[in-house]
Amino acid sequence: MAHPSRLASRPAGRSDGQNGFLRALRGRRSAPERSRPKGFLLETVESIVFAVVIFLIVRTLAFQAFRIPSGSMEDTLLPGDFLFINKFAYGARIPWSHARLPGYSEPKRGDIIVFEFPQDPKQDYIKRCVAVAGDKVEVRQGQLLINDVVQQESYAVHKASHANPALDSFGPYRVPPGHLFMMGDNRDFSSDSRVWGPVDVRLIHGKAWVTYFSWDPNKHLPRPLRMFRLIH
């Protein structure tokens, strides 16, 4: 005959096997609940890291944003214009070097290009390429001549009320190999290759592509008509 105290210690209607099964089931249910916060945190960190890596790859090898800080490219580009640079065009620079990946074109006359300022690598400039290696450049009374041919430039403007000998007369000058001669479209108010010399092609970041936003710094209002415009 079983001892009374031993019978009372067992739950009514359940065997030892059933109790063990229920304990194991509760353990399996609670394990995912305990690991869920850790799994969610890990997934969040992985997503952030992945997004940062993709952003750096795109910024380094494909496109980069740039803001127009001055009026040297008026009226093509205005202060407060925000644009994207196409790095594919001439081949993206490999980080921490002057080596480049293959591009699908070469810089040519008329291209608007963003580049590292030759006299200060911490600054980026944007100008128009008016001459390439081997070209003869000359400015006479504000008129640009390339290889002794007067250039018809619909984008060039002259806004000064009086002549500026330092900018209105230049050359003749032969662009050296591996360099570009850059000028701002606002010819009377542009510090460019007439002042600090040609640009080494290794300093190029990319070709100006499209404006994605524009802000009027004087009126403190956006300029919708200047948004999403191809740059040329």
According to the model, what pLDDT value does residue 118 have?
95
Q: What is the pTM of this model?
A: 0.75
Sheet of 170-174, strand order:
149-150, 143-146, 136-140, 170-174
User: Is the backbone of residue 59 left (phi > 0), alpha (psi -120 to 50) or beta?
Assistant: alpha
Contact 155, 76 (CB under 8 A): yes
Instruction: Taking the CA atoms of 76, 80, 81 and 84 in sequence, report the sign of the dihedral they define.
Output: positive
Show pLDDT as tens, one digit a residue, over the chain (232 residues).
444 444 344 444 445 555 554 455 455 544 444 545 667 777 777 777 766 666 555 555 556 899 999 999 999 999 999 999 999 899 887 777 778 888 889 999 999 999 999 999 899 999 999 999 999 999 999 999 999 999 999 999 999 888 788 899 999 999 999 999 999 999 999 999 999 999 999 999 999 999 999 999 999 999 999 999 999 9
**Any idea where the domains of the chain sit in the sequence?**
16-61, 65-230
| pLDDT of res. 26 | 56
Three-state DSSP state, 89: coil
- pLDDT for res 50: 65
Q: Which of 205, 230, 200, 225 is nearest to 215 (CA)?
A: 225
Q: Which CATH superfamily is domain 65-230 in?
A: Umud Fragment, subunit A (2.10.109.10)
The size of the chain, in residues, is 232
Tell me the chain's radius of gyration from C-alpha atoms: 33
Give the HSE-up count for residue 86: Cα atoms under 13 Å, Cβ half-sphere.
Answer: 18
CA atoms of 146 and 138, how far apart (whole Å)? 7
> Which of 126, 147, 134 shows the shortest CA–CA distance to 209?
126
